[in-house]
Amino acid sequence: MNYLASLFIVTTFAMISCNTDNSRATDSNDVSIATDDSMPTTNEDDTPNEDTSDTNTEDQARIVSVTTSGSENNYTFSVGISSPDTGCDQYADWWEVITEDGILLYRRVLAHSHVNEQPFVRSGGTVDITSSDIVIIRAHINTSGYGTNVYKGSINTGFTSDTIDSDFAQNLETVEPLPSGCAF
């Protein structure tokens, strides 16, 4: 069995057994492109948008889906993350929305590890952007820092998988808010 098929089976089982809620918001302004590496995304015209990037090492957290809801300058993001959590010693400790220039717009701090819930989705906001602002959504893990697998796009165009340099906007690692601990 190849890696992607195995990943799909494990992800499906994890979502069913953990009762993970990946449902879309019902807000009429909801825009969503959500994927994992085992399934291609589709664009608005239903043409495939293949996700061929897999540049992360095994110790990095990576974004696997992004959905949004809300209205102009008041958007909520629901972000799917796959991370090699082992407990408080190694876990995805936040995800963030940044500009293409590396300015932090929003950070969602994660208070605990997600060892038995992979991938997992957590929501946060509000994010003060317009529907046409291009932003990058990326994850951070407490032991290895930022992952290079991100999602990039706008509310208008949707968000797709992308990669960035490992040293892009590293200065944000010390910008508040930061985790104050790990519950489990």
pLDDT digits (tens, 9 = 90+) for 30-52: 333 333 333 333 334 333 333 33
CA distance 121 to 107: 14
Instruction: Identify the burial level of 145 via C-beta atoms within 10 angstroms of its C-beta, where 0-12 means exposed, 13-18 middle and 19 or more buried.
Output: middle
Contact present, 114 and 93 (Cβ < 8 Å): no
* DSSP assigned state of 116: T
Instruction: Identify the burial level of 17 via C-beta atoms within 10 angstroms of its C-beta, where 0-12 means exposed, 13-18 middle and 19 or more buried.
Output: exposed
Please state whether beta strands 62-71 and 158-163 pair in parallel, antiparallel, or not at all (unpaired).
Answer: unpaired
Q: pLDDT, tens digit, for every residue of 18-28?
A: 333 333 333 33
Provide the mean pLDDT of the chain.
Answer: 77
Going by pLDDT thresholds of 50, 70 and 90, the confidence category of residue 172 is very high
- 19 Cβ contact list (under 8 Å, min separation 6): none
Beta strands in 47-148 (DSSP E): 48-49, 62-71, 74-82, 92-99, 104-109, 120-127, 135-141, 145-146
More confident residue, 120 or 24: 120
Give the pLDDT confidence score for residue 2 in this predicted structure: 47
Give the pLDDT confidence score for residue 175 in this predicted structure: 97
Q: pLDDT, tens digit, for every residue of 39-91?
A: 333 334 333 333 334 444 578 999 999 999 999 999 999 999 999 999 999 99
Q: With 0.75 as the threshold, say if the pTM is over it.
A: no
Q: Which two tokens stand for residue 28?
A: 């009429």
Contact present, 93 and 138 (Cβ < 8 Å): no
- Summarize the confidence of residues 7-14 as an average pLDDT: 36
